[in-house]
Amino acid sequence: MDSNNIISSLGAGSGINTTSLVEGLIAAERIPKESQYDAKQEKLDLQISSYGVMASAMSTLQTSANTLSDTETFNTKNVSYTETTVLTPTEVEATALSGEYEVEVTQLAKAHSLSSTTFSDTGGQVGKGVLTFKFGSWDAGYTAFTLDGTKSTQAITIDDSNNSLTGLRDAINDADFGVQASIIQEGTEYKLQILGPSGASNEMEISVVEDGGSPTNNDASDLSRMAFNSSGSQLTANQEGQDATLKVNGMTVTRESNKIDDVITGLKFTLNKASVGEKVSFTISDDATAAEQAVRDFVTAYNDFFNTMKSLTTATDSAEEGSTDGGLATDPTARGMLQQVQSMIRQSVTGVSGNYTALSTVGVMTTLEGTLEINEGRFTQAFTDNFDDVEKLFNPSTSTTDSRVEIAQYKPTTQAGSFPVTVTTDPAKGYLNGGAITAVGFNAGTEAFSPSLDTSGGGYTFKLAVDGTTSGTITLSGTYATTEELRADLENQINTETTLSGVGAKVDVGYDATNDNFTFTSRDWGSASVVDVTEVGANMASLGMTVANGTHGVDVAGTINGETGFGSGNIMLPPLGSDLAGMSLKISAGVTSATVTYSRGFATEFANLMDSFLADQGLIDQREDRINDQLEEIEEDRSDLDTYLERRTIALQAQFIAMERILASLGESEGLLDGLVGRLPFTASSG
């Protein structure tokens, strides 16, 4: 019998509305359960909504904390200066040192300028070969050139593809090594002008090796027309290189360029003209405006957050008419987060010492209600009189008891505090000591060659392996009057060699006057640092260079906070899994122990706390996941209830149908009894 037949059968015999009775019985079971589910779901929905409101307020507060943790917020500078045409300030950086400065420009920097002989056609051939540019300084008569070993040598190749005045100009400019070439028209003829970088030590020496032979420097039709060296030249010197000279607070300094960026720390300016006797005054001061406003904005954001959290987590008096609890009044996670935030607001910042170690010390006070307010007198005094200390309260800072041990790197999550450091093994660089110089004419007493050492004849070639990378062939081809000239060229050619420079492998070349030899020291530290001579030409032995293996460097070793560190070169790291993960220490030779201190600063500490709440799978995510799990359980309970009540309905219906059948059977039995009685003997009909 299907359910429709069951329902139609209910009440058929008894006259009782058993359908309504079944519905009432089912409702009596459904309503309490559904009311329980509805109440629980309503509470959970309110919690989800409340967490959304809390996360929004917390995100605004985190943004404010991030602004506070930005070092630029506390490093804004003001610069004022007297009106002048002598120089033009172009930029003041956050690193600028506050103070008063007086600048007098006595000489502008100029660039060495050369020009060629005339050409009738810009497309005419200039000759093929290689031009090599070196930088240094010439004497007054352009008879002797002193190489600056710190400047890179540049080779320019002229072949069939660019053998023209235009091609030569473009080849120089495309090499992008600080030299500018241009074609100047004079009537119907053309000249090539070559302009070097400005500065007295950026004057150019240009040597030429013709395609297939050596230069003559006299041939009016070959590439040697572009040579400019002591052997001869057809180029004309139009202007000498010259340094800019200026006085800063009375101290004379020189610079190669008129763009000055390293005389007054953090202040950049351009020199326009020399004006002896005219002094330009600069005043650089901290601009606390941005930092003060950032703190005020944080206070506002915090108070908005606190008031939001208070309304969400406060349980109201249920007897009060119309009162309702906050959506998170009974949520321990939300109340715990608020307590953590309040605790951080009140506590001192780890790693910070001095007079400003907590918000209250700079005048940011907690009221009895729990909000923040600013004590204007204390606040203004702190920012006006002790701005550097205030910055350390809010921003990350490091300090060390020995300048030879410094915190080179850290992460916002690195544990803050003071940590002892011990050094058991000093770091060292790999090196190679050459043999004694025996070249003809070498005078150890004067560190000079007399006559000058001429290496152009060949045999002065070598290869080095620096930190495991082997160079290509390096060739000496110059003339050297002193060991310093030779030392500088050796260092320059090694450090500009393509293979080595491509991997950043560099050396410092020194001259040891005691042993009359050159030393080659890697600029890297550690056990992977080493300099080897792998190949030499026939004449290199006279300069003390033979095939030889150098001495490897040494990795630093020691402990950080009592744990054995990992040494790599002059960098020591804490062990894996340490609370100090993310910190690296730079160690100089000679130190045995020190104490380093790291503070994340209030703003970073606070931003980290916010991140632990707001991040993916942070505390809020985890709590919302649990609430959503509970909501899903309610839906499952509802489904289970529906299934149960469906079965319960069918069972009740079946029971009532059985009752109806019994009643119908009793009715039929009554009729039979009535007929039977009428037929019994000795009975009379009533009528």
434 and 421 fall within a common domain: no
Instruction: Examine residue 164 and state whether it is found in any structural domain, yes or no.
Output: yes
Report in angstroms the alpha-carbon separations of 491 from 476, 502, 644. Answer: 11, 16, 90
Q: How far is CA 405 from the centre of its chain?
A: 22
Same domain, residue pair 234 and 127: yes
Mean pLDDT taken over the chain: 89
Look at residue 163 and tell me whether its pLDDT is greater than 90: yes
Structure-model confidence comparison of residues 670 and 13, the more confident one: 670
271 and 219 in a common domain: no
What was the pLDDT predicted at 429? 97
CATH number at residue 198: 3.30.70
State the pLDDT confidence band at 661, using cuts at 50, 70 and 90.
confident
Query: pLDDT value at position 518?
Result: 97
Per the rule left: phi > 0, alpha: psi between -120 and 50, beta: everything else, 39 is: alpha
Tokens of 652: 């009740």
Q: Once rounded to an integer, what is the mean pLDDT over residues 654-671?
A: 74
- Say whether pLDDT at 161 is over 60: yes
Which of residues 356, 382, 397 is at a domain's end?
397
HSE (CB half, 13 Å, CA atoms) of 477? 13
Is position 685 within any domain? no
pLDDT of the residue at 532:
98
pLDDT-derived band at 318 (thresholds 50, 70, 90) equals very low
- pLDDT the model gives residue 6: 47
Q: Are the CB atoms for 216 and 222 separated by under 8 Å? A: yes
223 lies in the same domain as 171: yes
In DSSP terms, which residues pair with 103 in a beta bridge? Answer: 248, 280
- Maximum average pLDDT range among 1-10, 28-37, 211-220, 245-254: 245-254
Residue 609: name the closest of 19, 58, 120, 68 by CA: 58
**Residues 579 and 624 placed together within one structural domain of the fold:** no
Q: What percent of the chain clears pLDDT 70, i.e. is strictly above it?
A: 92
User: Would you state the pLDDT for residue 322?
Assistant: 45
Q: Which two tokens stand for residue 196?
A: 């070097």
Nearest to 422 by CA among 570, 581, 587: 587
Query: Are residues 378 and 334 part of one domain?
Result: yes
Residue 316 lies in a domain: no
pLDDT for the residue 679: 63
How far is 462 from 547, CA to CA, in rounded Å? Answer: 9
Residues 498 and 522 in one domain: yes
Per the structure block, which two tokens stand in for 591? 């130190």
Same domain, residue pair 387 and 421: no
Banded pLDDT at 98 (limits 50, 70, 90): confident
Residues 95 and 46 in one domain: no
Residue 678 has pLDDT above 70, yes or no: no
- CA distances 263 to 33, 93, 148, 245, 349, Å, are 81, 13, 22, 11, 36
- pLDDT, tens digit (0-9, with 9 covering 90-100), for 182-229: 999 999 999 999 999 999 999 999 999 888 765 444 454 589 899 999
- Verify that 140 and 220 share a domain, yes or no: yes
Query: Which residue do the tokens 């600080």 mark?
Result: 178
Name the range with the highest mean pLDDT among 36-45, 322-331, 421-430.
421-430
Of 550 and 26, which is predicted with more confidence? 550
- CA distances in angstroms from 245 to 137, 242, 260, listed in the order given: 17, 9, 11
For range 322-350, the mean pLDDT? 85
Burial class (CB in 10 A: 0-12, 13-18, 19+), 77: middle
Using 50, 70 and 90 to split pLDDT, how confident is the model at 668? low
Tally of domains in the chain: 6
**Residue that terminates a domain, selected from 226, 255, 286:** 286
Q: How many CB atoms lie within 10 A of CB 191?
A: 17
User: Does 317 fall in a domain?
Assistant: no
150 and 253, same structural domain?
Answer: no
pLDDT per position as a tens digit, 164-174: 999 999 999 99
pTM higher than the cut 0.75: no
> What are 544-578's pLDDT values in tens digits?
999 999 999 999 999 999 999 999 999 999 998 88
In a domain, 490, yes or no: yes
Q: What pLDDT sits at residue 79?
A: 86
Bridge partners of 202, per DSSP, are: none
Q: What is the mean pLDDT of residues 343-348?
A: 94
Model pLDDT, residue 180: 97
Which is nearest to 104 in space by CA: 262, 275, 265?
275
- Is residue 611 classed as helix, strand or coil in its secondary structure? helix
pLDDT tens-digit map of 441-451: 999 889 999 99
Percent over 90 (pLDDT), the chain: 63
Q: Is residue 178 part of a domain?
A: yes
pLDDT digit string (tens) for 595-628?
999 999 999 999 999 999 998 888 888 888 898 8
Provide CB contacts within 8 A for 601, sequence distance 6+.
69, 349, 352, 392, 393, 394, 395, 396, 397
Let me know: does 485 contact 524? Beta carbons within 8 Å. Answer: no
What is the arithmetic mean of pLDDT over 289-309?
93
What digits encode the pLDDT tens for the residues 66-76? 999 888 888 88
- 193 domain-assigned: yes
Q: Which residue has the tokens 């080095």?
A: 464
Together in a domain, 133 and 164: yes
Specify whether the CB–CB gap between 58 and 305 falls below 8 A: yes
Whole domain around residue 367: which residue ranges? 291-306+327-397
Give the DSSP per-residue string, 78-135: EEEE---SSEEEEEE-TTPPPEEEEEEEEE--BEEEEE---BS-TTS----EEEEEEE
In a domain, 683, yes or no: no
pLDDT for residue 218: 46
